Amino acid sequence: MNQDAATQPRPKVISNEVSVVSNFSFATYFGDHMVLQRGPRRANIWGYAPKGSEGNVVKVTLSPGKMKKMAIVNKGPDGDSLVWKVQLDPVISDSPFNITASLMSMEIMLMDVLFGDIWVCSGQSNMEFTMTQVLNATEELDDVDYPKIRLFAVNRVNSSTPLFDLPDDGIRLPWSLPTKTTVGNSSWGFFSAVCWLYGKYLFKQLQIPLGLVETCWGGTPIEAWSSFEVLQECGVSEVTDISSHLHQPPENFLTGFGGPNTPMVLWNAMVHPLLNMTIYGAIWYQGEANTVINRDYYNCTFPAMINDWREKFHMYSGTDIMFPFGFVQLAGNQPYYHIDSGFPDIRWHQTADIGFVPNEKMLQTFMAVAIDLTDFLSPYGCIHPRDKQDVAARLVLGGLAVAYNKKHVEFQGPFPDMFDFMLQNYTLLIRYNAGVRKMKYYSRIGFEICCSLTSENSCKPGISWWIPAPIIEPGDFHSVVSTSGCHRENVTGARYAWLESPCSFKGCAVYDSVTNLPLSPFIFTNEKFRSMLIH
């Protein structure tokens, strides 16, 4: 393992091209100790060849075993480099392999290669948030001896054009075994806490080799991680500078913000180069930057980005075109409980305005609800909660159920499926999950109703207002809330947790009594609300 490389400081880089490689080598992100995607998927191995070798044959062999593959040296996508690429047969084994590539009289080798599931971890600063920063960091870093988990981190690089390989300065951490140094290097260095904990918890359940690939940059909007096709599909014409809009702590208090916000530049440099890597799935923690920029596009850009990543990984590497995609619904931020159209809207848009996933617009996805995982005293700013353990644990439930088809795993919290005005005046019954799972309560606040003020009887700004609807009957399968102050015929909507910070730590109103997963935020108005009413 390259321990020296693992301890180097991480530069902030702007890259516009990959230097032409003229020697016989593997692509930059290949290395000893790496993980390649296990069967039934087929992993790809590719690299560069020297000038004058075009048309020659590269032979790739795996040992132990008898697998041999051949590739012809051709011109690369840049028109200057010479490249070769082989696709291996499916490998299902948790034993290490050595992989040798030979061209004419030259030979190169990868040692201690595992075949397992590769998960890409991407997003902004809460994904970049490192293991040295989490609660109980010392104890966590004493528990890193998992030799079948391997780590790789992409450096902070951006490009105005799509790169087909990571640039020379594009690797923050080469493929490494987990150690205190590689897992807990430095604050905002490596390794991603959510990514590592997700991988560790997943490994404990599955006992299969895992490759964790971190590629993230704090303070970046989704547009920077999206291709031109995504932006075109959603009608996003430009992304303006967001830095002046973000909730900024005092100078030098927070290093998680400040990434590039130009469209496509991180897609070009930190995702596109990985497309030849066959992967199993991805997890994503991002959205804070979009609370202040292009917020109203997020219900399009997020699902479109997921689908675009899937299509392009499939096109280049043969990755499953519906590979599982997990994400974290935004946690709370500021310690005052005010209504803010930024965070609640993005949380709703993260589900394509449906409230839960997977759904018909976001197939094969899973979500960790984090509205109750606040940390108002975080030394890294309250936008960066230190409890990443609960975030990862909730993500793993979704990963097991959706990505690994473990049908017995309950991964979703409560969600309303019916409203009913009670016979008593001024009450509304909210039923969850068809009344089949019991609830428990830690608070009686968080619900609101929309009360129309005009004969139009509609929930719209200027002609209606939202009023608190406290729980007056915390039932096992439903909640009854008060609608006092609004006549029944004027109630035109209901919403829950529609605040930047809806509650204190694990103190929201409604939870599943078995899984302790929280009710996720929702807003239903006008026709949608009326369609859910039974009386």
User: Residue 423, class by beta-carbon neighbours within 10 Å (0-12 exposed, 13-18 middle, 19+ buried)?
Assistant: exposed
Q: What is the mean pLDDT of residues 72-98?
A: 95
CA distances from 49 to 101, 272, 391 (A): 11, 21, 44
Contact 308, 254 (CB under 8 A): no
pLDDT at 226: 98
Contact 271, 165 (CB under 8 A): no
Which of the following CATH numbers is that of domain 14-113: 3.40.50, 1.25.10, 3.30.450, 2.60.40?
2.60.40
To the nearest whole number, what is the mean pLDDT of the chain? Answer: 92
pLDDT higher than 70, residue 13: no
Give the closest residue to 195 by CA, choosing from 177, 180, 216.
Answer: 216
State the pLDDT confidence band at 14, using cuts at 50, 70 and 90: very low
Q: What is the pLDDT of residues 408-423, one digit of tens each?
A: 999 999 999 999 998 7
Percent of the chain scored above 90 by pLDDT?
85
Q: What is the mean pLDDT of residues 426-445?
A: 94
pLDDT at 21: 65
State the pLDDT confidence band at 303, using cuts at 50, 70 and 90: very high
pLDDT at 247: 42
Q: What is the distance between the alpha carbons of residues 303 and 363, in angstroms, rounded to a whole number?
A: 9
Q: What is the pLDDT of residues 23-32, one digit of tens each?
A: 999 999 999 9
Domains 14-113 and 115-403 share a fold: no
pLDDT higher than 90, residue 245: no
By mean pLDDT, which of 27-36, 81-90, 484-493 is the weakest?
484-493
Instruction: List CB contacts of 56: < 8 A, sequence separation 6 or more.
Output: 49, 72, 73, 103, 104
Contact 134, 389 (CB under 8 A): yes
pLDDT at 239: 54
Q: What is the mean pLDDT of residues 123-135?
A: 97
Give the closest residue to 37 by CA, choosing from 326, 396, 323.
Answer: 323
CA distances from 25 to 82, 100, 163, 173 (A): 11, 11, 18, 19
Contact 178, 220 (CB under 8 A): no
Q: What is the distance between the alpha carbons of residues 100 and 98, in angstroms, rounded to a whole number?
A: 7
Contact 47, 84 (CB under 8 A): yes
Percent of the chain scored above 70 by pLDDT?
92
Instruction: List CB contacts of 118: < 8 A, sequence separation 6 or more.
Output: 35, 36, 37, 210, 211, 212, 213, 277, 278, 279, 280
pLDDT at 337: 66
DSSP 179: -
Q: What is the distance between the alpha carbons of residues 382 and 446, in angstroms, rounded to a whole number?
A: 20
Q: What is the distance between the alpha carbons of residues 425 and 488, in angstroms, rounded to a whole number?
A: 8
Give the H/E segment covering residue 183.
helix 180-183
Indicate the domain borders of the chain: 14-113, 115-403, 416-531
pLDDT at 79: 87
pLDDT higher than 50, residue 249: no
pLDDT higher than 80, residue 516: yes
Q: pTM value?
A: 0.93
pLDDT at 251: 29
State the pLDDT confidence band at 20, using cuts at 50, 70 and 90: low
Q: Which residue has the higher pLDDT, 246 or 66?
A: 66
CA 417 from centroid of its chain's CA atoms: 27
pLDDT higher than 70, residue 346: yes
Residue with tokens 């992967």: 279
Q: What is the distance between the alpha carbons of residues 15 and 470, in angstroms, rounded to a whole number?
A: 54
Which CATH superfamily hosts domain 115-403?
Answer: SGNH hydrolase (3.40.50.1110)
Task: Tell me how far apart the 2 most distant CA atoms of the chain are, in Å.
Answer: 88
HEC string of 364-414 equals: CEEEECCCCCCCCCCCCCCCCCCCCHHHHHHHHHHHHHHHCCCCCCCCCCC
Q: What is the pLDDT of residues 250-269, one digit of tens each?
A: 323 333 456 899 999 999 99
Give the closest residue to 364 by CA, choosing from 314, 326, 406.
Answer: 326
Q: What is the pLDDT of residues 138-189, one digit of tens each?
A: 999 999 999 999 999 999 999 999 999 999 999 999 999 999 999 998 899 9
Q: What is the distance between the alpha carbons of residues 401 and 326, in angstroms, rounded to a whole number?
A: 11
User: Residue 470, class by beta-carbon neighbours within 10 Å (0-12 exposed, 13-18 middle, 19+ buried)?
Assistant: middle
Q: Which residue has the higher pLDDT, 79 or 276?
A: 276
List alpha helices for 218-325, DSSP H.
Answer: 228-234, 265-266, 298-317
Q: What is the mean pLDDT of residues 380-405?
A: 98
What φ, ψ does residue 120 adopt, rounded to 5°?
Answer: -90, 130
Q: What is the distance between the alpha carbons of residues 262 and 245, in angstroms, rounded to a whole number?
A: 16
Q: What is the mean pLDDT of residues 307-326?
A: 99
Q: What is the mean pLDDT of residues 120-141?
A: 97
